[in-house]
């Protein structure tokens, strides 16, 4: 059994002795008086002191959320209050979101964490209220006078604990904001609270560990350049074994036309590496003049889950490398929050990138005017354009062993409005594709439950709960259409959906879109292919079977 699990006898004793909502012990109390209780399994490990030291972040110490005393720094209330005040001045959106909400409740049942747990504090409106109640205590004058009546409360250590719990049960997926009549983006409130918590050293190692690694070597795992190169070359060798084709990726090559940046999960993790093999095959197929940077070796940016300044710092390497290498534009791989940062913030944060050109596909001549500002094109758009212009030789039958559905990644769907391109690519590279129910896809897509740095293994129970609505929708197509493959365009999804599927829908595997592209590409000079990139047998391509023309 896992060492994180409490013993049954402990749980029973605890339930009998402690007051509980289940026993009706809190019925006359205000919602915020309900206790917040950390127990192993419902909190992410805090950042290690050395990680905070490396980053120069506040209050490095050894602590656990289950501790009575969180060792907050002296004057922490003032730090938070000043921090909130300065952010209200800096971000007009935050003030607007705190003031504008009328508590209509349209968002309430849209959150996957609320649907998976039934906990009222996971309703986006109440989650935001956790901050709003403190904001009202200190800020607008009228409400300051009307204390109590306006639902305000003092900032106490209990509030900090509550923030830590519930702002880490939000994946910043923004599904709630789709339904808000005022367009309030609750994700932005979560972003702000996490930023405030970082000021007093209340944090998450699964976020800050990768941030520190990125800060040092450029990527989440802290892999150094030679290992990064060896890994990709090792995947190139796999490609040669499987297809007989030699792909030759280059690294840090000055004067290449395109710089390719993808999440490092595609270079190190299973099943991301198969997606990487798909990219390499695609680039070889079209003869793209591209290079990969060992410094901008990470598309993901956990700074987004930490602070605005850290996000900006970690993002800067993309333009730095593009400039140093003298490329014309940047092509970005399959990732979720990377695209939120690139699409919504990069240009104003680290731009303008006037040393780059507006991206033009060297193969089709298509001008990507949508990327005129950022100079960075999403690979699904790039590939969809290639297919549209009939530039790829594809055999979708090579994916006949897979029955697919498509999971819209929150940030790509809601963060940049991309719905059709990946579907267009998917329909062209495989013959069996079935959509999940309408209210669980496109802009209403359900999060994987592990986004925004909650993908920690000690957090598995909560991730399984939060991911339940997504898994339930997959189950629907699994039962009706025998779907066995969940295709996605996000590296966090590729890491977090496999356990989610193994738990809720055994038998469903997770694939990156370009892995399927790689399977379907008919390469010049290739040998007879009988297996896909995972070395699983393809249907109808056995020896003596129906080979491609």
Partner 1 sequence: MNYSMSTEWAYIIDANRDVIIGQWLDCSLALFPEKMGYDTPVADALAEALGTLLTGLGKEDQRFMDALDDITRILAVQNFPPSRAISIFFEPKAMFREIMKRSNVAESLTQKVQTEFSSRIDELVLQAFDSYMQHREKIAQLKVEEGSRRMFMALRRAEA
Which residues are near partner 1 by CB under 8 A? 1-2, 5-6, 8, 11-12, 14-15, 21-22, 42, 109, 114-120, 123, 221, 230-231, 234, 265, 267-271, 273, 457-458, 460-462, 464-465, 468-469, 472, 495, 498-499, 502-504
Dihedral sign, Cα of residue 139, residue 143, residue 144, residue 145: positive
Q: How far apart are CA 380 and CA 424, in angstroms?
A: 9
Pick between residue 256 and residue 267 the one whose CB is nearest to partner 1.
267
Q: Which residues contact 14 (CB under 8 A, 6 or more apart)?
A: none
Least Å distance, CB 467 to partner 1, is: 10
Name which of 438 and 543 has its Cβ closer to partner 1.
438
Q: Least distance (Å) from partner 1 to the CB of residue 465? A: 5
Cα distances (angstroms) measured from residue 406 to each of 111, 140, 275, 389:
20, 45, 15, 23
The answer to whether the CB of 169 falls within 8 A of the CB of 94 is no
Least distance in Å: CB of 230 to partner 1?
8
Tokens of 163: 């923030």
CB 502 → partner 1: shortest distance, Å? Answer: 6
Looking at the Cβ atoms of 144 and 482, the one nearer to partner 1 is: 482
Instruction: Determine the Cα–Cα distance for residues 539 and 532; give it in Å rounded to an integer.
Output: 10
Distance CA 433, CA 512 (A): 14
The pair phi, psi for residue 368, each rounded to 5°, is -85, 85
* Cα separation, 410 vs 174, whole angstroms: 7
Choice between 469 and 512, CB closer to partner 1: 469
Quickly list DSSP for 437-482: PGGGSGGGPPP-S-TTT---GGGHHHHHHHTHHHHHHHHHHHHHH-
Shortest Å distance, C-beta 363 to partner 1: 30
Which residues are CB-contacts of 381 (< 8 A; sequence separation ≥ 6)? 368, 370, 418, 421
Nearer to partner 1, 332 or 467 (CB): 467
State in angstroms the smallest separation of the CB of 310 from partner 1. 22
At 272 the three-state DSSP class reads helix
222: region left, alpha or beta (phi > 0 left; psi from -120 to 50 alpha)? left
Q: Which is nearer to partner 1, 73 or 118 (CB)?
A: 118
Least Å distance, CB 222 to partner 1, is 11
Structure letter (DSSP) for residue 524? T
Give 3-state DSSP helix, strand, coil % of the chain, rounded to 5.
50, 5, 45
Q: Beta strands 290-292 and 376-378: pairing type?
A: unpaired
Q: How far is the CB of 463 from partner 1 (least distance, A)?
A: 9
Q: How far is the CB of 334 from partner 1 (least distance, A)?
A: 17
Token readout for 21 is: 């909502």
Separation of alpha carbons 205 and 321, rounded Å: 28
Q: Which is nearer to partner 1, 158 or 461 (CB)?
A: 461
What span, in angstroms and rounded, lies between the C-alpha atoms of 188 and 233?
A: 40
Tell me the residue ranges of DSSP E strands in 333-396: 376-378
Distance CA 366, CA 383 (A): 12
Complex with partner 1: residue 221 or 338, whichever CB lies closer = 221
Residue with Cβ nearer partner 1 (218 or 269)? 269
How does DSSP assign 20-49, residue by residue?
Answer: -GGGTTTTTS-GGGSPP---TTSSPPPPPH
* Residue closer to partner 1 (CB basis): 91 or 268: 268
Of 359 and 451, which has the nearer Cβ to partner 1?
451
* Cα separations in angstroms, 546 against 243, 431, 459, 519, 541: 17, 16, 46, 16, 6
Q: Which is nearer to partner 1, 422 or 499 (CB)?
A: 499
């Amino acid at each position: 059994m896992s060492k994180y699990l409490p013993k049954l006898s402990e749980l029973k004793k605890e339930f009998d002795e402690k007051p509980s909502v289940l026993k009706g012990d809190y019925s006359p109390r205000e919602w915020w008086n309900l206790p917040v209780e950390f127990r192993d399994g419902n909190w992410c490990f805090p950042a290690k002191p050395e990680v905070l030291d490396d980053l120069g972040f506040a209050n490095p110490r050894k602590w656990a959320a289950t501790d009575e005393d969180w060792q907050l720094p002296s004057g922490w209330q003032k730090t938070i209050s000043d921090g909130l005040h300065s952010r209200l001045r800096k971000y007009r959106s935050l003030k607007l979101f705190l003031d504008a909400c009328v508590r209509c409740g349209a968002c309430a049942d849209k959150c996957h964490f609320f649907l998976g747990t039934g906990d009222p504090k996971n309703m986006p409106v109440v989650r935001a209220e956790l901050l709003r109640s403190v904001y009202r205590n200190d800020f607008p004058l009228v409400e300051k006078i009307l204390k109590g009546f306006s639902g305000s409360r003092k900032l106490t250590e209990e509030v900090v604990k509550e923030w830590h719990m519930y702002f880490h049960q939000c994946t910043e997926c923004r599904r709630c904001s789709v339904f808000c009549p005022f367009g309030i983006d609750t994700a932005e409130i979560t972003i702000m609270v996490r930023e405030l918590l970082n000021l007093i050293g209340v944090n998450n190692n699964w976020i800050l560990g990768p941030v520190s690694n990125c800060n040092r070597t450029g990527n989440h795992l802290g892999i150094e350049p030679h290992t990064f190169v060896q890994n990709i070359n090792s995947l190139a060798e796999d490609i040669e074994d499987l297809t007989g084709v030699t792909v030759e990726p280059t690294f840090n090559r000055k004067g290449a036309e395109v710089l390719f940046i993808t999440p490092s999960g595609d270079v190190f993790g299973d099943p991301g590496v198969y997606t990487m093999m798909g990219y390499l095959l695609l680039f070889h197929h079209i003869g793209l003049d591209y290079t990969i940077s060992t410094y901008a070796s990470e598309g993901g940016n956990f700074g987004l889950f930490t602070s605005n300044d850290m996000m900006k710092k970690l993002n800067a390497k993309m333009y730095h490398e593009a400039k140093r290498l003298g490329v014309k534009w940047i092509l970005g791989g399959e990732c979720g929050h990377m695209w939120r940062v690139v699409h919504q913030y990069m240009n104003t944060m680290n731009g303008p990138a006037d040393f780059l050109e507006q991206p033009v596909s060297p193969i089709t001549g298509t001008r990507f005017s949508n990327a005129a500002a950022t100079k960075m094109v999403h690979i699904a758009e790039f590939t969809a354009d290639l297919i549209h212009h009939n530039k790829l030789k594809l055999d979708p039958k090579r994916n006949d062993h897979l029955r697919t559905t498509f999971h819209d990644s929150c940030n790509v769907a809601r963060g940049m409005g991309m719905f059709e391109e990946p579907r267009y690519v998917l329909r062209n590279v495989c013959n069996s594709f079935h959509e999940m129910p309408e209210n669980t896809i496109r802009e209403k897509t359900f999060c994987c439950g592990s986004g925004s740095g909650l993908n920690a293994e000690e957090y598995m129970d909560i991730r399984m709960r939060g991911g339940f609505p997504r898994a339930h929708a997959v189950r629907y197509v699994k039962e009706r259409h025998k779907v066995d493959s969940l295709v996605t365009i996000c590296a966090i999804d590729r890491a977090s959906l496999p356990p989610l599927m193994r738990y809720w829908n055994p038998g469903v595997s997770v694939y990156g879109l370009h892995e399927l592209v790689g399977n379907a590409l008919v390469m010049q000079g290739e040998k007879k292919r009988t297996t896909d990139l995972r070395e699983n047998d393809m249907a109808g391509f056995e020896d003596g079977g129906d080979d491609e023309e």
